[in-house]
Chains A and B, each alone.
Chain A
Amino acid sequence: MNMTTPNATMKQNSAPIVSPGNGSPMGGALSIKNLTKIYDPEGVNVCAVDDCSMEIAAGEVCMIVGPSGCGKTTLLNAIAGFHSITSGEIRLDGDLLCGPGKPKAEQGADRMVVFQNGALFPWKTLAENVAYGPIVQKRMSKSEANDKAEHMLAEAGIGEFCSKYPGEVSSGMARRAEIVRALINEPKVLLLDEPYRAMDALTKSIMHESLLETYDRTKVTIFFITHDLEEAIFLGDKVHIVTTRPCSLKKTVDVNIPRPRTYESLSSEEFRTLMEEVNEAVHEEAVKAFQAGERELA
Chain B
Amino acid sequence: MASTAQSENKTDTNGRVMTAPTGFALVWYRIKESLTTPRPYLMLLGILMWLFLYWLLCEGLRLDRFDKIPGPIAVAKEWFSPTPFQGISLFTEDYYNNIYVSCRRILIAFGLATGIGVPLGLFMGWSKKFKDYTFPILEILRPIPILAWVPLAILMFPGFEAPVIFLATLASLFVTTLNTMLGVQSIDESYFRAAGCLGSSNWDIFKNVVVPGALPYVFTGLQISIGVAWFSLVAAEMVSGDHGLGYLIVDSYMNNVTVPMVIGMITLGFVGWFTSVLVRIVGNWLMQWHVKALAQQGR
Q: Is the CB of A82 within 8 A of B193?
A: yes
Which residues of B in the span 27-72 have a Cβ within 8 Å of any Cβ on A? Answer: none
From A184, which residue of chain B is reached at the shortest CB distance? B198
Q: Is the CB of A167 within 8 A of B296?
A: yes
Complex Cα gap A152–B279 (Å): 38
Complex Cα gap A185–B200 (Å): 12
Which residues of B in the span 246-298 have a Cβ within 8 Å of any Cβ on A? Answer: 287-290, 292-293, 296
* Residues of the B chain whose Cβ atoms lie less than 8 Å from the Cβ of A274: none
Complex Cα gap A123–B187 (Å): 12
Identify which of B208, B209, B293 contacts A165 (C-beta below 8 A): B293
Q: Is the CB of A121 within 8 A of B212?
A: yes
Complex Cα gap A80–B194 (Å): 10
Kindly state whether residue A20 has any CB partner on chain B within 8 Å.
no
Kindly state whether residue B201 has any CB partner on chain A within 8 Å.
yes
Most A CB contacts (10 A, CB to CB) among B196, B212, B213, B290 go to: B196
* Residues of the A chain whose Cβ atoms lie less than 8 Å from the Cβ of B296: 167-168
Identify which of B190, B201, B288, B290 contacts A136 (C-beta below 8 A): B201
Q: Is the CB of B198 within 8 A of A115?
A: no
Complex Cα gap A123–B292 (Å): 10
From B201, which residue of chain A is reached at the shortest CB distance? A136
With A82-B193, A123-B212, A123-B287 known as contacts, the answer to whether A168 contacts B293 (CB < 8 A) is yes
Which residues of A in the span 102-158 have a Cβ within 8 Å of any Cβ on B? Answer: 107-109, 111-113, 115-117, 119-125, 132-133, 136-137
* Residues of the B chain whose Cβ atoms lie less than 8 Å from the Cβ of A115: 190, 193-194
Q: Is the CB of B204 within 8 A of A136?
A: yes
* Residues of the B chain whose Cβ atoms lie less than 8 Å from the Cβ of A108: 197, 199
Q: Is the CB of B191 within 8 A of A80?
A: no
* Residues of the B chain whose Cβ atoms lie less than 8 Å from the Cβ of A167: 289-290, 292-293, 296
With A119-B188, A123-B287, A165-B289 known as contacts, the answer to whether A136 contacts B193 (CB < 8 A) is no
Complex Cα gap A165–B296 (Å): 11
What distance in Å separates the Cβ of A126 from its nearest Cβ neighbour in chain B?
A: 11
* Residues of the B chain whose Cβ atoms lie less than 8 Å from the Cβ of A121: 191, 194-195, 208-209, 212
Complex Cα gap A124–B208 (Å): 9
* Residues of the A chain whose Cβ atoms lie less than 8 Å from the Cβ of B290: 122-123, 167
From A298, which residue of chain B is reached at the shortest CB distance? B189
Q: Is the CB of A133 within 8 A of B198?
A: yes
Identify which of A119, A123, A125 contacts B193 (C-beta below 8 A): A119
Chain A contact residues: helix, strand, loop or mixed = loop
Complex Cα gap A123–B213 (Å): 7
Q: Is the CB of B188 within 8 A of A123?
A: no
What distance in Å separates the Cβ of A261 from its nearest Cβ neighbour in chain B?
A: 28
* Residues of the B chain whose Cβ atoms lie less than 8 Å from the Cβ of A116: 190
* Residues of the A chain whose Cβ atoms lie less than 8 Å from the Cβ of B287: 123
Kindly state whether residue B228 has any CB partner on chain A within 8 Å.
no
Most A CB contacts (10 A, CB to CB) among B213, B289, B290, B292 go to: B289
Complex Cα gap A9–B209 (Å): 36
* Residues of the B chain whose Cβ atoms lie less than 8 Å from the Cβ of A117: 188, 190
What distance in Å separates the Cβ of A151 from its nearest Cβ neighbour in chain B?
A: 18
* Residues of the B chain whose Cβ atoms lie less than 8 Å from the Cβ of A82: 193, 196
Kindly state whether residue B215 has any CB partner on chain A within 8 Å.
yes
* Residues of the A chain whose Cβ atoms lie less than 8 Å from the Cβ of B201: 136
Complex Cα gap A82–B196 (Å): 9
Q: Is the CB of B289 within 8 A of A137?
A: no
Complex Cα gap A108–B196 (Å): 7
Q: Is the CB of B197 within 8 A of A165?
A: no
Q: Is the CB of A119 within 8 A of B191?
A: yes
Complex Cα gap A80–B213 (Å): 23
Identify which of B198, B212, B288, B293 contacts A109 (C-beta below 8 A): B198
Q: Is the CB of B199 within 8 A of A136?
A: yes
Complex Cα gap A70–B257 (Å): 75
Complex Cα gap A109–B200 (Å): 10
* Residues of the A chain whose Cβ atoms lie less than 8 Å from the Cβ of B208: 121, 124, 132, 136
Residues of A that sit less than 8 Å from B by CB: 80-82, 107-109, 111-113, 115-117, 119-125, 132-133, 136-137, 165-168, 181, 185
Q: Which 8 A-B pairs have the closest CB atoms?
A: A167-B293, A123-B212, A119-B194, A133-B198, A119-B190, A137-B199, A165-B289, A107-B196
